[in-house]
Amino acid sequence: MKTSDLYEKDVNEWVTSQIQLLKSGKLELIDIEHLIEELQDMGKSNRRELSNHLKILIAHLLKWQYQLKLLIDKYNGYEGKSWKLTIIEQRFQLMDLLEDIPSLKRELQETIKKSYPKAVLLAVKETNLPQAIFPVECPYTIEQLLDDDFYPH
């Protein structure tokens, strides 16, 4: 079976076969077209993962900043523990991703800029607060987003 046919039938088996061909130096048998496609998709996937973690983190920081006090006042003893855990988890995920793929650090500012409007929409839908109360641009720096001790007031 040609490797391009294998790609269409079972992509995981195709990956295994491409690795074996590379290791054995049989470069003429490599499915170049699909290999390029997969490498491009891999880069997109990494950027998408970065964006997703940033959206969730920023949305929770916005909720923390703009809704937590309202909930504390309304429900005596409310502490926002689940939000805090989500913030911590997203920071862990971001730090792991940036450690594994350091080149993504160069894309952080632009990804924050692109992700922020969707983070606001998430915060609006989860809080029922008006969109107009949230800043037009992300109010948090990269350093604040990644700082374990940063929780906005």
DSSP 76: T
User: Helix 32-74 vs helix 81-100: angle between axes, to the nearest 10 degrees?
Assistant: 160
Q: Is the pLDDT of residue 89 over 90?
A: yes
Distance CA 74, CA 55 (A): 27
Residues 99-140 pLDDT 10s: 999 999 999 999 999 999 999 999 999 989 999 999 999 999
Residues 6 or more apart from 67 whose CB is under 8 A from it? 127, 129
Distance CA 49, CA 44 (A): 9
pLDDT value at position 73?
63
In the chain, domain spans: 45-146
Q: By three-state DSSP, how is residue 25 classified?
A: coil
Q: Is the pLDDT of residue 55 over 90?
A: yes
Q: Is the pLDDT of residue 70 over 90?
A: no
pLDDT band for position 41 (50/70/90)?
A: confident
